[in-house]
């Protein structure tokens, strides 16, 4: 019954625990994305890589425009267009490296490897904008039974929960 892995990242109890955690994981996660692409015969092009890096630099969800603006201009001083960013995001989502938060129309880098059919729960803090991604086998089972009882075939299994994170609640 102990399925509450809230803020396992917050071991130092610091306000920016999730940000630190993301930054620390970024090189490792990028290397893993490279490996996955190679194994699947896909290419992590420079544009795709830059977009993924931009998402790993923060624990906050970013819109395609945020991403385009956060990236330094390419040689020749041209910024990446939002269209190019969207195209890269489509690839990154298809590979499971990035998720879309429907409620924010924004994107976030995935910290874990998923199996097909995994239920993903986003805990979205209204106060600091931080997002934690968690998985739950219990929810996976419950959602599977619910869908089956209704003859429903889920296309996505993403649950978005809005509220206040542990750090913000402590600070209050
Ligand atoms: Zn994920
Ligand atoms: Zn918060």
Cα-to-centroid distance, 109 and ligand 1 (Å): 7
Cα-to-centroid distance, 92 and ligand 1 (Å): 11
Ligand nearest to the CA of 124: 2
Q: Is the pLDDT of residue 135 over 80?
A: yes
Per-residue pLDDT, 12: 37
Ligand nearest to the CA of 118: 1
DSSP string, 76-122: TSPPPPHHHHHHHHHHHHHTTSEEEEGGGTEEEE--S---TT--EEE
Q: Is the pLDDT of residue 9 over 50?
A: no
Band of the pLDDT at 17, cuts 50, 70, 90? low
Ligand nearest to the CA of 114: 1
Question: Architecture of domain 17-171 in CATH?
Answer: Orthogonal Bundle (1.10)
Cα-to-centroid distance, 76 and ligand 1 (Å): 35
Q: In what order do the strands lie in the sheet with 158-163?
A: 131-135, 120-125, 158-163
Summarised one tens digit per residue, pLDDT across range 101-126 is 999 999 999 988 887 778 999 999 99
Instruction: Provide, rounded to the nearest whole percent, the portion of the chain with pLDDT above 70.
Output: 85
User: What's the whole-number mean pLDDT along residues 126-155?
Assistant: 93
Q: Is the pLDDT of residue 166 over 60?
A: yes
Band of the pLDDT at 75, cuts 50, 70, 90? confident
Cα-to-centroid distance, 101 and ligand 1 (Å): 11
Cα-to-centroid distance, 69 and ligand 2 (Å): 24
Lowest mean pLDDT among 4-8, 28-32, 63-67, 121-125: 4-8
Ligand nearest to the CA of 97: 1
In angstroms, rounded to a whole number, what is the distance separating the alpha carbons of residues 94 and 163?
28
């Amino acid at each position: 019954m102990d399925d509450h892995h809230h803020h396992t990242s917050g071991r130092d109890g610091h306000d920016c625990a999730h940000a630190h955690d993301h930054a620390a994981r970024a090189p490792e996660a990028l290397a893993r994305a490279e490996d996955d692409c190679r194994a699947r015969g896909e290419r992590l092009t420079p544009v795709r890589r830059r977009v993924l890096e931009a998402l790993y630099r923060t624990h906050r969800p970013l819109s395609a425009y945020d991403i385009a603006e956060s990236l330094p201009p390419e040689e020749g001083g041209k910024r990446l267009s939002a269209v190019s960013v969207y195209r890269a995001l489509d690839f990154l989502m298809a590979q499971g490296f990035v998720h879309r938060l429907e409620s924010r129309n924004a994107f976030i880098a995935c910290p874990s490897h998923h199996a097909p059919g995994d239920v993903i729960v986003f805990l979205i803090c209204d106060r600091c904008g931080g997002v934690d991604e968690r998985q739950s086998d219990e929810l996976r089972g419950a959602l599977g039974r619910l869908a089956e009882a209704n003859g429903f075939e889920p296309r996505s299994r993403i649950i978005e929960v809005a509220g206040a994170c542990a750090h913000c609640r402590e600070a209050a």
